[in-house]
Structure 1
Amino acid sequence: MTRVENAPLRRAARAGDRAHGRPALIGWAAVAALTAYGLAHVHWALGGSGFPFGAADANPEYSAFEHVGRDRLAPWMATGFLLSAAVAVLLALPGRRRVPTPVLLGATGLSVAAVLGAIADFRILGNLAYVFMLRFSAINWTVVNQVFAVVAVGLMTMSAVTYQRRTTGACTACGRTDSRADWTSRESAARWGRRAAYTAVAVPLVYASTRWAWALGYPLGISDKMWEEGKEDKLWLFGAALATMGALGSLLTLGLVQRWGEVFPRWIPGLRGRRVPLALAIVPASLVAVMVTTAGIMYIRLHFQGAFEDPAANWGATVPETIWPVWGAALAAATLAYYFRRRGACKHCGRGGPQAVAAEPAQDLDSNSSMRA
């Protein structure tokens, strides 16, 4: 395609930017968050109090930097966050950068991987469960900082997506181009979205089954020593309660491929028959996908570090968690498919309107209709 042919797409993308200010706002929010956090680490590197990671962690046994002190860790983290902030600036500025797009997107991916793989861990997910159980004592300064770091790189990721759309001529609001990708069609998304959703339901049930077995008196996958210790502290009942919450939450994933995930059921007063807002399904599912992925990565890391006592005898306590990244990836895919199926015409570029729907094969609509029935 020539530069002349690309010109209308570029003009459309620029018009979308002006009409849709949210992408730019998100980009500069990422810059602000990463810069602020980088400067906080500069403060800690210079001797300021309150450093939350490494040996100073409230629970250093969970940290990837358990034996690393503030004097060594804080400077490295300050450098990482400030460099990420610089990349975020390049992503947020209008127009195309001289730095190749793959380099900017790769740097974004590296920042996300560092935070999700080394800084964040299962405590974010665990504290969410505690909040639902009205137990707030476990929330500490380290967890607060983990959440802030995840939010910062999450904003950076959203800014990177916007940048990639803008520099390829796609609409910055919806990501559509004039050429329709088959895998994003309603029919295709319905097909691979179902597989992803069922996977996202099955994985947490594997974990829950061990906790339910313990609560019922069966020491599945744990040694006699651990079994007795858990009974004394009544951990198995508490663990079963958490597992049940997770299982019930996973069943909500079915809403991503069922009619009740698109239209409120009749038994919900005041909402019955109304369409479910996209954000009501997409935002919680996306957050859970991130949290279970970080939790699973932590368990995998601890296995490699040899942090667990007698892992062969106590596999039930730690192995099911190592497949949580599969849960997170499947849930993210199911959420994306849900978005592709339900998104309507873009208010900013006009793509995806009635003409686009009519252009899709008839079986696309049939598949979508039968799935909602």
Structure 2
Amino acid sequence: MASSKLVMKTSNKNSVMSDWAAYAAAVWSFLYGVLGLYWALGGAGFPFGENDARGHMMGSFLSHASADAGGMIIALVGIFSAGLALASVKVWRSRWISTFLLAYAWTMCFVLIVAIPDTRMIQNVAYAFMLHFHLMDWPVINQILCMVGGVLWGAAAMSYWRRMRAACGACGRVATAGAAFISINRLGKWVTWLAAIFALPYGIVRWAWAAGYPLGASDHLLIADQTISNRLVEFVLGGLPIGGAVLTLGFIMRWGEAFPRWCLFLAGKRVPTLLAVIPAAFIAALMTNAGLKISPVIISGIMKGSINGDNWGEMGPTLFWLPWGIALGMATIAYYIRRRGRCRQCGRL
């Protein structure tokens, strides 16, 4: 009897703790919906389409949106989504309703994180390493806000999925997860290597250009006669994916769990799981986003002949961005599941 009360108390505590995501997604959706109504009524600052001069060039799916129609759609979707987020606080008896709420939450997560942002997100992250922030304008800031909303909707979807499965509200595990854990662990090794390999083509080309070798470039003289500052830019742009490939291998290497000797005072200490997971998940989302936008352009260019054997290095390597992002995301999930340890709430491994 006492054991049953303890289980019920823990379950209720986990439910209350997980409700924050649904409420946060509801608040975000409502506020963004109000912002959409403001734009629809003629308010300034509509960040898409007609007010976004760089949208089409950077692969925005909303490059042709107008403030009046686009703003009204945002308003309706925002307010409707807020209501559904509140409805997902409880698990409905109807399987159809619960499935719809779960599917809608994941769809909102995907749209806000992957579909709405464009290649300017990864562009600004790369330039931030060189302390260049001049491209950080309102459309880019709005994309960041959308990604925040996507994270909230993802958390709400995960919470609802756990409650549908009667899983632990803190970790999402169920009693029969052993076989799934083994499968994910095996898959993690393969996708980690794939993520590291897919990251290399772009970096190799950029490092070749930094060295003055026109690998896959149509204008050989432009590459050979670069200034020192331009070579430095190419070196940094190439070093980011190559460095990322090396760090990705930490997901399956010992130094991904304990800091190596060269980390001085951190040597031998346990690597915090989230220290690796959060940056990797962020980059995976950005690369998937950018790859989704640019891959159709690259494929079209190859079919039309505008991207060929003479200039393949200028755009061709970005064709690996989409599979890189997907593989990195899967590798990150596998790493997290392997390292999360025993749950303090349910006690499962």
User: Which range, TM-score by smaller chain?
Assistant: 0.7 to 0.9
- The alignment's C-alpha RMSD in Å is 2.9
TM-score, reference length from structure 1? 0.81
Distance apart, 1:224 and its partner CA: 3.1
Aligned to 1:100, the other structure's residue is in SS state helix
Letter in 2 for 1:192: L
Are residue 215 (structure 1) and residue 210 (structure 2) matched?
yes
1:168 Cα deviation after fit: 1.3
1:203-242 alignment, distance < 5 Å: 203-224=198-219, 228=222, 237-242=232-237
Q: Does 1:135 align with 2:132?
A: yes
What CA distance in whole angstroms lies between the structure 2 residues aligned with 1:56 and 1:125?
Answer: 21
Q: Kindly state the Cα deviation for residue 245 of structure 1 after the two structures are TM-superposed.
A: 1.8
C-alpha distance in 1 between matches for 2:157 and 2:297: 31
Q: Please name the residue that 1:268 is paired with.
A: 263
Alignment of 1:6-21 (within 5 A): 12=7, 15-19=10-14, 21=16
**Aligned residues of 2:114 and 2:286 also touching (Cα < 8 A):** no
Residues 1:125 and 2:140 aligned together? no
Would you say the 8 A contact 1:230–1:236 is kept in 2? no
| Partner residue in 1 for 2:243 | 248
AA matched with 2:307: P
2:332 maps to amino acid: T
Q: Distance in 1 between matches of 2:15 and 2:272?
A: 19
CA distance in 2, matches of 1:300, 1:81: 29
Structure 2 SS opposite 1:347:
coil
> Displacement of 1:20 after TM fit?
6.8
Structure 1 position 201 matched with structure 2 position 196: yes
Establish whether residue 315 from structure 1 lines up as the match of residue 320 from structure 2.
Answer: no
Could you tell me how far 1:207 is from its partner in structure 2?
Answer: 1.3
Aligned partner of 1:106 in structure 2 is: 103
- Cα distance per residue 1:192-214 (max 9 Å; x no partner): 21111111111110111222222
Query: Taking structure 1 as reference, are residues 117 and 177 closer, same or farther at Cα in structure 2, changes over 3 Å only?
Result: closer
Q: Specify the alignment match of 1:337 in structure 2.
A: 334
- In the TM superposition, residue 350 of structure 1 has moved relative to its aligned partner by 1.7
Give 1:179 deviation, angstroms. Answer: 1.3
Deviation at 1:50, TM superposition (A): 0.9
Distance in 1 (CA, whole Å) between partners of 2:15 and 2:257 is 25
Percent identity over paired residues: 36
For 2:14 and 2:296, the matched residues in 1 are separated by 45
CA deviation vs aligned residue, 1:315-336 (integer Å, no higher than 9, x gap): 3222321221211111111111
1:36 aligns with 2:35: no
Matches within 5 A, 1:270-289: 270-289=265-284
Amino acid at match of 1:37: Y
- Residue in 2 that maps onto 1:371: none
1:161 counterpart residue number: 158
Q: Provide the C-alpha distance between the structure 2 equivalents of 1:108 and 1:309, rounded to a whole number of angstroms.
A: 41
| Matched residue SS, 1:267 | helix
Cα distance in 1, alignment partners of residues 192 and 127 from structure 2: 25
Aligned residues between the structures: 340
**1:205-230 CA-partner distances (Å, limit 9, x unpaired):** 011122222233333333239x7499
State the Cα deviation string for residues 181-202 of structure 1 (Å, max 9, x = none).
Answer: 41313xx444221111111111
Q: Which is further off, 163-172 or 31-40? A: 31-40
